Structure 1
Amino acid sequence: MKACLCKSFGPPSNLVIEEMPDPVAGAGEVVVSVQACALNFFDTLIIQGRYQYKPDMPFSPSAEFAGVVEATGEGVGKVSVGDRVMGYMRWGAAREMVSVCEADLVHLPDAVSFEVAAGLAVTYGTTLHAFRDRAKLQAGETVAVLGASGGVGQAAVEIATVMGAKVIACASSEEKLGFARELGAELTIDYSTQPLKETLKELTGGDGVNVVYDPVGGDLSEQALRATAWEGRFLVIGFAAGDIPKIPLNIVMLKGCDVQGVFWGASVDRDPDAHRSNMEQVLKWVGEGKLKPHVHAVYPMEEISAALEEIAARRVRGKVIVKP
């Protein structure tokens, strides 16, 4: 099989495409023929050795995929050869075939394409876990989404809207905000020209927002936290800005608010049944047309370096898909 390999930490241009032996399904494992896999911002970090996981060399980037079951190992009973599936595996999906545990797979309805399904697990899985399991988001509440045009930002705008919340999309340009409005955002803030805290307070009549969804970090985090409502929830998703903010705890005390960590990858391992339930809900919404995931571009595996460079340069709206 063909695989994209990282053999030394560095920029995307270091990646190589090589032939490898086909995987074999061990006990409890399933071999999947990968029809599409997706790239995320953390893939630009993991190939540089700057991510929380540091795989042994050589490894393949891409944490999520969709495809067809090719073979099953001893003890596998929930999927069969020929089934359409999607899955999540931290890293290693940028290959023509992968071997994963049966528990890591979710059945894929015929109504959802491989290209769309490949990009659902990380962004939509993270977001539904954040809103449903962590923040307990309720219809009628107000949600501020930072970085609203990126992969998780798009998912946050869409899912909060489907759950009945009022969404304030926050991004760094009018073009990005226009995209967020197409996804369902009622209000928008360009934080490159508008003060985030003051504008959030103004748009909520001084009350503040019930939930902040923050995949950006940096200087924006404290501003957004200061704009939360009484007993608001601040969701820590990630740090795309590169800087991990230091939050004054007196803000948390004075607002009676909660700062909630969203470590979706660990939650998948700790509660796989809840993860599967969330993904089945996401797939149902996609099938019904309530969620319309945006695919930024589809690249052949030979152009995966260019795809990662697009993500690193913040030129992506929605998901980047790779077809082995």
Structure 2
Amino acid sequence: MKAVLCKQFGPPETLVVEEIESPKAGKGQVVISVKACGVNFPDTLMIEGKYQFKPSFPFSPGGEVAGIVKEVGEGVTHLNVGDNVFSLTGHGGFAEEVTGNAATTLPMPAGMDYITAASTMYTYGTSYHALKDRASLKPGETLLVLGAAGGVGLAAVQLGVLMGATVIAAASSDEKLQVCRQMGATETINYTTEDLRERLKALTNSNGVDVVYDPVGDRYAEPSIRSLAWKGRYLVVGFAAGSIPNIPLNLTLLKGASLVGVFWGAFAQREPKLSMSNFGQILHWITTGQLKQHIHSTYSLDESPLALRALMDRKVVGKAVLVL
């Protein structure tokens, strides 16, 4: 089978496409013939050796796939050969076949296409866990989404609207913010040309925002925390801008605020029942048309370095997907 391989840590351009042996299903596993694979920010970190987990060389990036079950391992009873599934694989998805843990592999709902299925787990899973489980977002509250045009950002915008919040989307260009408005954002901030804190003061009548969803970090973190309302919650989702910010902790004291970490992957492993319950709600919203992923572009397996480069250069609005 064909696979995109990372043989040493480096930029996307160092990845190679080679023929390797097909995987075998072990106990509690399935082999999936990949039809589509989501391209996510953790993939860019993994190939550069900057992610929490470092697979052994050589490995393929790609943590969420959709496809057809080719082989079922010992002890797997809820999946069968020929089933259409989507799976959280962690890595290995940039390939024609991948091994998936049966516990994190789900049957695709009837009528769902492979591209939608391959772009659901990371973005909606992360954002719904963040807003529901970590922030306890309530109807009528104000939600600020930083990096709002990215995959998890747009998911947070849509979910915030569905959960009854007033959503303020912040991104780096007017073109990106136009998409955020299409997804339901009430107000937008271009933090390249506008002062983030001053705009938030104006938009909230100096009352501040109840929840900040931050997958960006860097220089946007402190003004966002300073813009929190009393008992506000700041969600630490990631650091796409590159730098991990240093936060003056007196800001949380003055506002009675909370800094809340969001690590969806660990949550899905440690609390699988709650994670599956969340996915039930997400899939209901998708199948009823209330959630719809914005697909930036699709790429072939050979074009995977281009997809990763576009993501790293912050050119992707919504989700990039490899299609096999």
State if a TM-score over 0.5 links the two structures. Answer: yes
1:139-187, CA deviations, whole angstroms, 9 ceiling, x for partnerless residues?
1111000011111111010111111111000111111111110110001
Q: CA deviation at 1:273?
A: 1.7
For the residue of structure 2 that corresponds to 1:180, the secondary structure is helix
- In structure 2, the residue matched to 1:11 is 11
Tell me, in whole angstroms, the C-alpha distance in 2 between the residues paired with 1:63 and 1:227: 34
Contact 2:217 2:240 in 1 (8 A): yes
1:135-150 correspondence to structure 2 within 5 Å: 135-150=135-150
1:150-189 correspondence to structure 2 within 5 Å: 150-189=150-189
AA matched with 2:64: E
Tell me, in whole angstroms, the C-alpha distance in 2 between the residues paired with 1:40 and 1:76: 28
- Residue 107 (str. 1) matches residue 98 (str. 2): no
AA matched with 2:226: R
1:262-283, CA deviations, whole angstroms, 9 ceiling, x for partnerless residues?
0111111111122222222212
Contact 2:149 2:177 in 1 (8 A): yes
- Residue 217 (str. 1) matches residue 217 (str. 2): yes
Q: CA deviation at 1:199?
A: 1.4
- In structure 1, the residue matched to 2:271 is 271
Tell me, in whole angstroms, the C-alpha distance in 1 between the residues paired with 2:67 and 2:281: 19
Tell me, in whole angstroms, the C-alpha distance in 2 between the residues paired with 1:205 and 1:11: 44
- In structure 2, the residue matched to 1:315 is 315
Q: Which moved more, 1:294-303 or 1:45-54?
A: 45-54
Q: CA deviation at 1:111?
A: 2.2
TM-score (ref. length: structure 1)? 0.98
- Residue 198 (str. 1) matches residue 168 (str. 2): no
Gaps of 5+ in 2: none
For the residue of structure 2 that corresponds to 1:24, the secondary structure is coil
Contact 2:6 2:47 in 1 (8 A): yes
Q: CA deviation at 1:37?
A: 0.4
Tell me, in whole angstroms, the C-alpha distance in 2 between the residues paired with 1:114 and 1:171: 28
AA matched with 1:127: S
Tell me, in whole angstroms, the C-alpha distance in 1 between the residues paired with 2:25 and 2:262: 32
- Residue 244 (str. 1) matches residue 244 (str. 2): yes
1:84-141, CA deviations, whole angstroms, 9 ceiling, x for partnerless residues?
1111122111111111221011221122211011011111100000011111111111
For the residue of structure 2 that corresponds to 1:219, the secondary structure is helix
1:206-247, CA deviations, whole angstroms, 9 ceiling, x for partnerless residues?
211110000010111010001011011100000011010111
Number of matched residues? 324
- Residue 285 (str. 1) matches residue 285 (str. 2): yes
Contact 2:89 2:101 in 1 (8 A): no
1:61-80 correspondence to structure 2 within 5 Å: 61-80=61-80
Contact 1:106 1:276 in 2 (8 A): no
Contact 1:147 1:171 in 2 (8 A): yes
Contact 1:85 1:107 in 2 (8 A): yes
Tell me, in whole angstroms, the C-alpha distance in 2 between the residues paired with 1:201 and 1:90: 40
AA matched with 2:187: L
TM-score (ref. length: structure 2)? 0.98
1:50-89 correspondence to structure 2 within 5 Å: 50-89=50-89
Contact 2:170 2:190 in 1 (8 A): yes
Tell me, in whole angstroms, the C-alpha distance in 2 between the residues paired with 1:165 and 1:112: 28
Tell me, in whole angstroms, the C-alpha distance in 2 between the residues paired with 1:218 and 1:165: 25
AA matched with 2:256: G
Tell me, in whole angstroms, the C-alpha distance in 2 between the residues paired with 1:36 and 1:134: 30
AA matched with 1:145: V
- In structure 1, the residue matched to 2:134 is 134
Gaps of 5+ in 1: none
- The percent of aligned pairs where both chains have the same amino acid is 51
- In structure 2, the residue matched to 1:116 is 116
Contact 1:112 1:283 in 2 (8 A): no
AA matched with 1:17: V
Tell me, in whole angstroms, the C-alpha distance in 2 between the residues paired with 1:42 and 1:33: 22
Tell me, in whole angstroms, the C-alpha distance in 2 between the residues paired with 1:319 and 1:67: 18
Moved over 4 A (4+): none
For the residue of structure 1 that corresponds to 2:218, the secondary structure is coil
Contact 2:34 2:65 in 1 (8 A): yes
For the residue of structure 1 that corresponds to 2:197, the secondary structure is helix
- In structure 1, the residue matched to 2:90 is 90
Tell me, in whole angstroms, the C-alpha distance in 2 between the residues paired with 1:89 and 1:101: 7
